[in-house]
Amino acid sequence: QAESLYNQALDRDPNHVDAHRGLAVLLVQDERKESAFTLLRRWNAASPLSAEPKVERARLYREFGDDKTASELLAEAIKQDPRNVRAFRAMGLIREEQGELASALESYQRALMVNGMQPDLAPKIAALQQRVAMGGLVDPATRTALGSTLPAGATTTPGSSAMTNGSATAPAGAPAVNSGGRY
């Protein structure tokens, strides 16, 4: 019944983002992964001037572990619509997870510049700025293995993902952007 309702919504509005997302999720949950990819490819073909199908396709590729294709689709979406907040946030998330902190920071900052009404991004940006300034906040063993040292006065607490420097504490990472799978 849900599939029928999603299709009715798409008949009324062929570019309805949430209906495409919901139907794609339903198809994946129903073990029809290829149908979900086909749905989003067809949407992209029918709406070549919209960045949204690319963002949704990127979400689906990322869900199945293909960050490379997801990043390529997000880059296309950003080129097509340089004000697409979802594309910037998604690109930031992928870059952050891949350890490309400066690039992630740039993506998040661009998302916030486009739409300043994203209260979750300001603390994420602040945390990333600290991590970038401190060389990524990796643990001392990893830094030693990489031939680098911690900043003067910086320490880590065993079993903790936080680093302290004097009285300030910098989180090693904020939670993933909309960790529910939606950018």
Predicted local distance difference test score (pLDDT) of residue 137: 52
Nearest to 87 by CA among 65, 63, 114: 114
DSSP secondary structure, 42-72, as one string: HHHHH-TT-SHHHHHHHHHHHHTT-HHHHHH
Predicted local distance difference test score (pLDDT) of residue 135: 81
Give rounded-to-5 percent helix, strand, coil for the chain. 60, 5, 35
pTM reported for the whole predicted model: 0.72
Predicted local distance difference test score (pLDDT) of residue 69: 98
Host H or E run for residue 11 = helix 2-12
Predicted local distance difference test score (pLDDT) of residue 75: 98
Residue ranges for the chain with pLDDT beneath 70: 136-183
> How many helices (DSSP H) and strands (DSSP E) are in the chain?
9, 3
Nearest to 135 by CA among 156, 149, 123, 124: 149
125 burial level (CB within 10 Å; 0-12, 13-18, 19+):
buried
Nearest to 53 by CA among 16, 7, 92, 90: 16
Predicted local distance difference test score (pLDDT) of residue 25: 97
Predicted local distance difference test score (pLDDT) of residue 82: 97
Predicted local distance difference test score (pLDDT) of residue 125: 96
Predicted local distance difference test score (pLDDT) of residue 101: 96
Predicted local distance difference test score (pLDDT) of residue 85: 97
